[in-house]
Structure 1
Amino acid sequence: MNYEAKKIDQFLLLHSARADGWRDLTVLAEEWASGSGKRLPFEAALEAMAPIEEFHAYPGPRLLGALRERIASDDAGDAARLARRISNALLTHSYRGQPGEWDIAEDASAAEIADVLPSAFGKARIHRPYLEVLFVNSQPASRWPALAAELRRMRRPEDAFLYEPVFVGSFEDALCAAAVNPAIAAVVLAEGFPYRSRHDAPALRSILDPLGEKDSRDASALRLACSLKRIRPELDVYLLSERNVESLAGNPEAESARRIFYAVEEPLELHLSILEGVAARYETPFFDNLKKYARRPIGTFHALPIARGKSVFRSDWIRDMGEFYGLNLFLAESSATTGGLDSLLEPTGNIKRAQELAARAFGADHVFFVTNGTSTSNKMAVQALLAPGDIAIVDRNCHKSHHYGMVLSGALPFYVEAFPMTEYSMYGAVPLQTIKRALLALRAEGRLDRLRLLDLTNCTFDGHMYNVRRVMEECLAIKPDLVFLWDEAWSGFARFSPFLRPRTAMGAAADIEAWLRNPASSDAYDAQQREVGEAPSDEVLLSTRLIPDPRRVRLRVYQTNSTHKSMSAIRQGSMLLVKDVDFHTVEAQFHEAVFTHASTSPNQQLIASLDVARRQMELEGYGLVMNAIEIALKIRRAVNGHPLISKYFRVLGADEMIPAAYRQSGFKDYLAPGASWADVVKAMREDEFYLDPTRMTLVCGTAGFDGTQFKGILAGDYNIQVNKTSRNSVLLQSNINNTRSDVAQLVRVLVEICRGIENRLATGGDAEREGFEARVKSLMTDVPDLPNFSRFDEAFRGNAGRTTPEGDIRAGFFGAYDPALCEYVPLFAAECDRRLQEGPEMISANFVIPYPPGFPIMVPGQVLTQETIDFMRKLDVKEIHGYERVRGLKLLRADALSARARR
């Protein structure tokens, strides 16, 4: 096995490639043992893997040394058996809880079968979570086994966690280890190590280059601590120093360290500190208390009969529900907020503590748990931040909850349009130029002070991620106190990827916050002001990469996060994240929004799952997200590279999902010929829009299926579930739950479907082929144009500007409550066409939202145009919210509105 041949230099595939490498290595060893292969390929493959293996505790130097000894003694049989054992242990993770896997002498006993089933199957074993700790020091490598033995001597039966040490001796090796080994949960840095790695392997360089670390030859422990936290902020870092630790502890740069020790005078304290640091992340205050509550004998005299499960398990008729869900679900149910529990509406105990831990994990100042989904999180945020008459710049294609939030708050939405992808009947994201034009238009009318909020979706359903920092900085350059709401329902996981994190609200806010503290920020702003002049024209502002004035900026950022969509939370589990220097001015309003929208009977299990999801992501999120990205890349390669599947299906690349004007790096696709990891990283850092690799638009129109039809086939015939569809595509998502077995199942199903198409075309004659071609043409060529937002009727623009398009959506919405103001016009009737040509204008009385594509093509008070009607008529979906096929379009009567206005 050759790392270069396997493209191991591609960083995102390092984790699965390591497992594949051991599988290949085992095959070479067994071929050598059977006589069908040679020793040299096996030996060369092992040495190629050696640099990466040094960054993992298992198999470690002892087992690798034993494997090399067996090669040196020409013992092919024993070498093959040991290679197979190591490979199996890595596959099943049995080495994490079975000491025999670390033993050189013997294979695992029959009693040490890997526990790969969920703990609910059979009797659960006593489990201690396993982690690895990275030790960076200047000790010679020959001393590392002795140091590891000393660390293992400090283990105690009462330790809650089990860790194994990983030793490296340089700055570069430390960065590589943290990047490629997701099991590392803590780092111990002893001063005096060199900068350069002792290896000169291309695989290591391909890891280091994308991390963006500049080779300054500064190999200080403090600098390494900062670099490690930049890559993986969840890591606990401990500093060991032989210098003046008192002054070191007072150094602001040392804030990234959890604790500082004087050399190694207290090895037991270091050991206990490592365990305590992991325990601090493992803590789940609400879930822990809920488990304690479930173990107590409780008499329930409140309105929740299902609590304790007596009404279920004593029933002849619903006992099966109890048997299905298990006793703990009912023991942990309560409508009380006492007895060790807490109130979600006014948390003061363990829910408050759980939310504080979530804020730490996601880089926020405050977090609100929400048990009604991110639809509610969005409405909470909009209601708390906007008052009647405030203006909000809003992506017209955002989730309907934002539009309804505008109705509730009485704010005036200033709709901006995303770039269209007409061929696939979907929209992308809103260009920065469009947003800046909206800001400048409001400024020209003297209404910029009325603008309060910029409300955008990041990432979009189809995977478009903004350059969040650039958007916020350029907007703050025009309006320094603008508030930002980023709907990150689909990308909460991105916090735990060092490459996706800068494209999240909290990640970008942290970067801007650090820039604002840097004195160089004022110099950069002043230099730009000298360049553009005191009163630059709109054209200059639109063409310039604007820098905000750090002395005036008020950084106010909000992020909503569908925890259940990308992490291990129960359905409807959501979080609202806050990083706002002026939060104290709206905190009371946020509590009112919570009181307005949150149930007074929240589901305890939902709250607990949010608590647990945070724990998981802090302790293993880095590896889980990397695995989700790996799965996505494997799906892309398997579909687009398969000779049969690719005839009828393909996963769209970035070049098909994002226009070239917004891909300044020139990046085309992960699978483009000659594409390197450097190209991927450059696109992540520079491009206006970046395509989340875990979201894959699979075109099915070329196979003759519309999105809804193909979704039904996958679910009904093959038990494969997808959510989002368009006219000619379905969206595949990889997440932290997927495995490579899922990829294999998807590929097998697509091959079977393609063979069915081939058989029909081969045996159906000309009629079948012509029908197929017509169907494909209808889906892929004869697609409807996507309608842009037209305008609000003048009746709903009383508080609007002369040229800016904002309108009173609330008045339009509640106007429809009066039947005397409403009328219906059938969509396909001649009356509809006559009204478009001759008037009076047709004014939508409500939201009309087709699924797919899922965005409102009509909002209350909007004047309907030909393009909107044409799009509605070409829709072939069954589900259109707000539209009654029998009665037609619900409209507000223009004459009645005029009469009411005159009164």
Structure 2
Amino acid sequence: MQEQHAERRIDQFFSGPGARADDWRELVNAARAWKDGTQDRARFEGLLADIAATEEFHAYPGSRLMTELRERAASGDATGTLALVMRLTQALQTRSFRQHTSDWDVHGESEGEIPDLLPPALGHTGARRPYFEVLIVTGVPSTSWAGLAAEWRRLRRPVDSFIYEPVFVGSAEDAFCAAMLNPDLAAVIINEGFQYRSRHNAPVLRELTASIQSKETDSPLTLAQTLKRVRPELDLYLMSNQRVEELAGRPETSVLRRIFYSVEELLELHLSVLEGVQDRYETPFFDNLKKYAQRPIGTFHALPIARGKSVFKSDWIRDMGEFYGPNLFLAESSATTGGLDSLLEPTGNIKKAQEKAARAFGADQVFFVTNGTSTSNKMAVQALLAQGDIAIVDRNCHKSHHYGMVLAGAQPLYVEAFPMTEYSMYGAVPLRTIKQALLNLRAEGRLDRVKMVDLTNCTFDGHIYNTRRVMEECLAIKPDLIFLWDEAWFGFARFSPFLRPRTAMGAANDIEAWMREPSSAQAYDRQRAELGENPSDEVLLKTRLIPDPRKIRLRVYQTNSTHKSMSAIRQGSMLFVKDVEFHTVEAQFREAVFTHASTSPNQQLIASLDVARRQMELEGYGLVANAIEIAFAIRKAVAANPLISKYFSVLGADKMVPAEFRGSGFTDFLADGVNWGQVLRSLHDDEFCLDPTRITLVCGTAAYDGTQFKGLLASRYGIQVNKTSRNSVLLQSNINNTRSDVAHLIRVLAEIAGEIEHDLSQGGVNAVKAFDARVRSLMTDVPDLPNFSRFHDSFRADAGEKTNEGDIRSGFYSAYDAAGCEYIRLADAEIDRRLRNGPELVSANFVIPYPPGFPIMVPGQVITQEAIDFMRKLDVKEIHGYNAVQGLKLVRPEALARLGERRRPPAPRLRPADAAE
């Protein structure tokens, strides 16, 4: 993000926690240079003015310390200014101000001088109290804010479980900015009488707010609704002089936790704020598990490791107990009573934990899953689809979806994502392709059999769907479609106001709100009048379709690998439900849970899901902002380093998303002049955009294939990455990363680039030729990506002419007939002969190369020359479903003939009269 340093604006939302720390370090450097005489005071005061524009939205350092800093500078005290700014910077970096009263003192010496500012961090129990901040929006003049802050501080009590500081703003725009810039906020108190406009210059802010609210207003309820949209985890309170009894009955007050009559005492409001945070802090299952671990328990059930006696008394495995510690074993049990609960039939604290997760993630119901999102996907597919149902499925989705179709007996109608052949990866499925599939089915009179659209959002490589648009346009064709969004890698997005609308639950909630608006039906009626009674398919494909809100049955499911982007233990997953018809599938859904879930779920996994929800509700906003900032730091560092950028590059949206899907014209996060205004337009309008935390690093230009480079990073430098392609590796920033991680990565890339440079300079002409040839093979001579061909006719007895769905279940179980299968090795000429002359080659199982990780063959699929060429050019060792010694497993032609005979519809029986004729 390019920023004009001459004028710091409050709406530069790319500047996250790390950028704030950088600003303070730069201020320290300016103060030191002033003291040393290498720069004048004006430089320091200019930087201080920049910082002051955004620091007013944070409780610390606060107006008292900022005023002291300005006064020291104005008096010419360079030494005193440097000492104070260093102390403030240190307190911010270490976050010591949350515990130490001396950090709030002007002199930093005596805690006793300012007892009203911050009481001891330890509560009456001796436990350290978590710290947060409360935003207070008020029409009271800023000259009175210091007195109000003192009044709020006097409400604190030693028995309070938490400690908070107030932050005051006087306008709706400043409240919006505070919510965006201050990740420490946990609650907002809105008083009446505030202004709308900020006194600051904030054009990007106004572009953002205009996209959220339709008009500029100083209405407290409108502000509350705006803040709830950007930070739904915040507790909102309204202080009103109106008839609060009547106000509380209005539907728009549902975003508020509580309404207070403003002349009443503040203590109840203070207690309500603490109670609201306590509600999010509570982790029902984890809290009970900790209590359970402290109880004396006699175990007479089949889990010897429980309580740890078999471990700690052993001479041979005691080291495991020493490694993990006693709590892991004390908290183990196969019991579902005594303070615990059953994951299969939750009625107690697991049920409460799932209800809290539903609130946090915007769902109606949440299911905890301890077998990973592979299981979550299979549960959803099995519960929602039946034998013969058609599901529109991204062919490149995770294999669990394909296996789910096998289990359910559903017929997948595969739709293709746009290819990125140069990088040996696929993007996402264009909406036009999905709509065409639905329209083809409608034309054949088979639309009623389509039950589900099953897509991956975001893809492994970071392609994010315009989820709301996809669902609305599909619902315009079939208003009762079920949507299953696999968001295994995208769960964190709920806690970013920029990414949330592109999540399944975020979009579903937006559609639900739109359906309630009178204008929604009017918009549908206008479009229907414009299109006429029977618009052509081409018109429908080109039109941004509006569904009929009176007919929509909103049915949305989202799976989430909590362990992939939040603080959950590996295999911790959640399944989110927002389905108006859930009551009709609840029984079969629970059967799917019984089918796939272990009857001995891991207690620690369940607890980690509970804790992950707590963390994201209370600090997820700041953690995700930091993850995004880390990703931008990596992008900038790679692009700015002349040596690194000579051999490595990060792909921008212009390389990852074809221009036809980027109507906004957005090209890259690092493009000149880009700010969150442009990013918001891309997120709002474009068919596809990129997850900013995904970084596709091209390594083929350094003569490394993805697998090689992944191995080099891991074995030599201790850097782990997950996904690779033929010529790239995928870097992901997450809530766990720090700036130190970035520094390590950049140092490693610089070292590798330096070694390449040295080897080329020392190796002579032949070394250069070999290097160029390797780069050419990786970057230019890349294999074409094979599309799904079709299911063999033996598996398409009831399929249509225009669509390519097939009975994948029968294809899968055809492989169980050993006599009906054959193997042909990839290099054998027999494959080429069969491709030319027949009979057709039909896969008996899934074939999934890693990378790229998508199935290039599924059971029952006719194998094409493109698929064989692709496999022959692959240089990866891991290909699931393929044994290099035996070869491809195929269904024999005679077995296919038998299957075809069995599946062929019987000839109509003739009546005697018909026979006589």
Q: Normalising to structure 1: TM-score of the pair?
A: 0.97
CA deviation after TM superposition for structure 1 residue 35, in Å: 2.7
1:175–1:208 Cα contact (<8 Å) kept: no
CA deviation after TM superposition for structure 1 residue 108, in Å: 8.5
In structure 2, C-alpha distance between the alignment counterparts of 1:567 and 1:385, rounded to whole Å: 27
In structure 1, C-alpha distance between the alignment counterparts of 2:126 and 2:316, rounded to whole Å: 34
CA deviation after TM superposition for structure 1 residue 9, in Å: 5.5
In structure 1, C-alpha distance between the alignment counterparts of 2:135 and 2:108, rounded to whole Å: 28
Cα distance change on mapping 1:28 and 1:565 into 2, 3 Å: same
Equivalent residue for 1:526?
A: 525
Q: Once structures 1 and 2 are overlaid, which stretch shifts more, 814-823 or 29-38? A: 29-38
- Structure 1 residue identity aligned to 2:683: M
Counterparts in 2 of 1:15-30, with a 5 A limit? 15-30=17-32
Equivalent residue for 2:60?
A: 58
Q: Which of the numbers 97, 101, 108 marks the counterpart of 1:95?
A: 97
Say yes or no: does 1:12 pair with 2:39: no
Partner secondary structure for residue 275 of structure 1: helix
Give deviations 1:835-854, integer Å, cap 9, x for gaps. 10011111000000000000
- Structure 2 residue identity aligned to 1:659: P
- Structure 1 residue identity aligned to 2:72: R
CA deviation after TM superposition for structure 1 residue 675, in Å: 2.8
- Structure 2 residue identity aligned to 1:705: Y
Equivalent residue for 2:480?
A: 481
Give deviations 1:83-116, integer Å, cap 9, x for gaps. 001111111111111111111122589xxxxxxx
Cα distance change on mapping 1:384 and 1:698 into 2, 3 Å: same
Partner secondary structure for residue 824 of structure 1: strand
Equivalent residue for 2:905?
A: none
Say yes or no: does 1:386 pair with 2:385: yes
Equivalent residue for 2:204?
A: 206
In structure 1, C-alpha distance between the alignment counterparts of 2:575 and 2:618, rounded to whole Å: 21
- Structure 1 residue identity aligned to 2:612: A
Equivalent residue for 2:77?
A: 75
In structure 2, C-alpha distance between the alignment counterparts of 1:298 and 1:153, rounded to whole Å: 45
In structure 2, C-alpha distance between the alignment counterparts of 1:12 and 1:676, rounded to whole Å: 7
CA deviation after TM superposition for structure 1 residue 222, in Å: 0.8
In structure 1, C-alpha distance between the alignment counterparts of 2:393 and 2:682, rounded to whole Å: 26
CA deviation after TM superposition for structure 1 residue 896, in Å: 2.0
2:13–2:676 Cα contact (<8 Å) kept: yes
1:189–1:238 Cα contact (<8 Å) kept: yes
Equivalent residue for 2:180?
A: 179
Give deviations 1:308-354, integer Å, cap 9, x for gaps. 11111111211111111111111111111111000000000000000
CA deviation after TM superposition for structure 1 residue 76, in Å: 1.3
Equivalent residue for 2:117?
A: none
1:569–1:613 Cα contact (<8 Å) kept: yes
- Structure 1 residue identity aligned to 2:208: P
1:459–1:490 Cα contact (<8 Å) kept: yes
2:422–2:779 Cα contact (<8 Å) kept: yes
Say yes or no: does 1:813 pair with 2:812: yes
Equivalent residue for 1:494?
A: 493
1:2–1:48 Cα contact (<8 Å) kept: no
CA deviation after TM superposition for structure 1 residue 159, in Å: 0.7
Counterparts in 2 of 1:40-51, with a 5 A limit? 40-51=42-53
1:2–1:45 Cα contact (<8 Å) kept: no
In structure 2, C-alpha distance between the alignment counterparts of 1:345 and 1:881, rounded to whole Å: 32
- Structure 2 residue identity aligned to 1:497: S
Equivalent residue for 2:758?
A: 759
Partner secondary structure for residue 223 of structure 2: helix
Cα distance change on mapping 1:356 and 1:853 into 2, 3 Å: same
Equivalent residue for 2:652?
A: 653
Give deviations 1:767-814, integer Å, cap 9, x for gaps. 111110000000000100000000000110112112311000000101
Equivalent residue for 1:800?
A: 799
Give deviations 1:570-606, integer Å, cap 9, x for gaps. 0000000000000000000110000000000000000
Say yes or no: does 1:335 pair with 2:334: yes
In structure 2, C-alpha distance between the alignment counterparts of 1:7 and 1:248, rounded to whole Å: 36
2:31–2:78 Cα contact (<8 Å) kept: yes
In structure 2, C-alpha distance between the alignment counterparts of 1:650 and 1:151, rounded to whole Å: 52
In structure 1, C-alpha distance between the alignment counterparts of 2:705 and 2:99, rounded to whole Å: 49
CA deviation after TM superposition for structure 1 residue 200, in Å: 2.7
Say yes or no: does 1:149 pair with 2:150: yes
Counterparts in 2 of 1:802-881, with a 5 A limit? 802-881=801-880
1:11–1:206 Cα contact (<8 Å) kept: no
In structure 2, C-alpha distance between the alignment counterparts of 1:753 and 1:883, rounded to whole Å: 34
1:708–1:726 Cα contact (<8 Å) kept: yes
CA deviation after TM superposition for structure 1 residue 207, in Å: 3.7
In structure 2, C-alpha distance between the alignment counterparts of 1:148 and 1:732, rounded to whole Å: 44
CA deviation after TM superposition for structure 1 residue 40, in Å: 1.5
- Structure 1 residue identity aligned to 2:472: E
In structure 2, C-alpha distance between the alignment counterparts of 1:108 and 1:813, rounded to whole Å: 75
2:847–2:856 Cα contact (<8 Å) kept: yes
Equivalent residue for 1:121?
A: none
- Structure 1 residue identity aligned to 2:294: R
In structure 1, C-alpha distance between the alignment counterparts of 2:414 and 2:272, rounded to whole Å: 52
Partner secondary structure for residue 391 of structure 2: strand
Equivalent residue for 1:321?
A: 320
Q: How many residues align?
A: 886
2:213–2:226 Cα contact (<8 Å) kept: no
Counterparts in 2 of 1:418-817, with a 5 A limit? 418-817=417-816
Partner secondary structure for residue 177 of structure 2: helix
1:85–1:107 Cα contact (<8 Å) kept: no
- Structure 2 residue identity aligned to 1:766: V
1:433–1:542 Cα contact (<8 Å) kept: yes
CA deviation after TM superposition for structure 1 residue 47, in Å: 1.4
CA deviation after TM superposition for structure 1 residue 503, in Å: 0.5
Give deviations 1:595-629, integer Å, cap 9, x for gaps. 00000000000000000000111111111111111
2:795–2:900 Cα contact (<8 Å) kept: no
Cα distance change on mapping 1:694 and 1:415 into 2, 3 Å: same
In structure 1, C-alpha distance between the alignment counterparts of 2:6 and 2:43, rounded to whole Å: 14
In structure 2, C-alpha distance between the alignment counterparts of 1:477 and 1:102, rounded to whole Å: 58
Counterparts in 2 of 1:90-239, with a 5 A limit? 90-107=92-109, 126-197=127-198, 199-201=199-201, 204-211=202-209, 212-213=211-212, 216-239=215-238
- Structure 1 residue identity aligned to 2:145: W
In structure 2, C-alpha distance between the alignment counterparts of 1:800 and 1:609, rounded to whole Å: 45
2:7–2:50 Cα contact (<8 Å) kept: no
Partner secondary structure for residue 777 of structure 2: helix
Equivalent residue for 2:285?
A: 286
- Structure 2 residue identity aligned to 1:77: T
In structure 2, C-alpha distance between the alignment counterparts of 1:255 and 1:580, rounded to whole Å: 21
In structure 2, C-alpha distance between the alignment counterparts of 1:608 and 1:808, rounded to whole Å: 40
Give deviations 1:373-400, integer Å, cap 9, x for gaps. 0000000000000000000000000000
- Structure 1 residue identity aligned to 2:147: A
In structure 2, C-alpha distance between the alignment counterparts of 1:222 and 1:681, rounded to whole Å: 24
2:498–2:680 Cα contact (<8 Å) kept: yes
In structure 2, C-alpha distance between the alignment counterparts of 1:408 and 1:2, rounded to whole Å: 57
CA deviation after TM superposition for structure 1 residue 179, in Å: 0.6
- Structure 1 residue identity aligned to 2:88: I
CA deviation after TM superposition for structure 1 residue 142, in Å: 1.4
Unaligned runs of 5+ in 2: 112-124, 903-917
Equivalent residue for 1:113?
A: none
Give deviations 1:489-509, integer Å, cap 9, x for gaps. 000010111110110000000
Q: Normalising to structure 2: TM-score of the pair?
A: 0.95
- Structure 1 residue identity aligned to 2:524: Y
1:6–1:17 Cα contact (<8 Å) kept: no
Unaligned runs of 5+ in 1: 110-123
In structure 1, C-alpha distance between the alignment counterparts of 2:327 and 2:507, rounded to whole Å: 41
1:8–1:17 Cα contact (<8 Å) kept: no
Partner secondary structure for residue 813 of structure 1: helix
